[in-house]
Amino acid sequence: MTPDSALVERCHCSPNHGERLAPIDAIVLHYTGMASGEAALALLCDPTAQVSCHYLVWEDGRVWQLASESRRAWHAGKSLWAGESDLNSRSIGIEIVNPGHRDGLPSRPHEIFGGAPPFPEPQIAATIDLCRDIAARLAVRPERILGHSDIAPDRKIDPGEIFPWPRLHEAGIGHWVAPAPIRPGPVYALGAMGPPVAALQAMLAAYGYGVKTNGVYDEATRDVVAAFQRHFRPALVDGIADVSTVETLLALIKNLPPAA
């Protein structure tokens, strides 16, 4: 395999990939969620595991390529974004070595037990450079640079609320606005019903999240709200749509980059 990016230090080929079924238009960021990078690498290259990614970013900033960008790596799993369910075909998957939330995956994605450790500076710098390179070569729009939790909110929480999305945005990567301040006001939570809930669901869906506009604040809506908070309002991730959550969502929609 020939590296697709000049940033790649080494190619370490995984057998886990297939034919793409759609053009590339997204980048999905993950943390590995395992005890070590070596353990993650072994899993990503294990043919019985049926998981992989295109790039692995080590703590010291080294970038390894595991699958050609032309191939469909198996990193997204069951996912949905902007009405598209095969994110594996449409995206480049980047795994960032980090053990993840220290108490493991919560029983529900809106629950946080123990936060993931910080991502080292060399690793974030390398991730920024890699995303910038991929986005420039493949014309990936800022709002299509996503976290795994954005596209699979019912089962994934990576790269986590500690991931420095604002830092990436300052470097020209991804879509971001300053979160609205948390303050008292109307909230919508599990069990709420009616037109305001439907309006919230419609805004989340308009941004890209996979949520039904049924006017019921069900568990699926709660998980999507938590995923949104984890990415865009990480100070409080509880799956409750408060004033800050709604205002931040509105600001993101209003500040979407113009279509090409």
Hey, which residues are catalytic here? 95
CA dihedral 169, 197, 244, 172 (to 10 degrees): 10
| Six-digit token string for 20 | 């793409």
Strand partners, 11: 65
How far is Cα 29 from Cα 163, in angstroms, rounded to an integer? 10
Q: Provide the b/e sequence for 189-214 (b: ≥16 CB within 10 Å).
A: eeebeeeebbebbebbbebbbbbebe
Residue 146: C-alpha distances to residues 30, 48, 58, 169, 183 (Å): 9, 27, 19, 12, 27
Calpha distance 161→226 (Å, rounded): 10
Rounded Cα distance, 236 and 229, in Å: 7
Sign of CA dihedral 11, 13, 16, 18: positive
DSSP state of 210: -
Residue 96 tokens read as 């960032």
| Block residue for tokens 């019912």 | 154
**Cβ-Cβ contacts under 8 Å for 188 (sequence gap 6 or more):** 196, 197, 200, 217, 240, 241
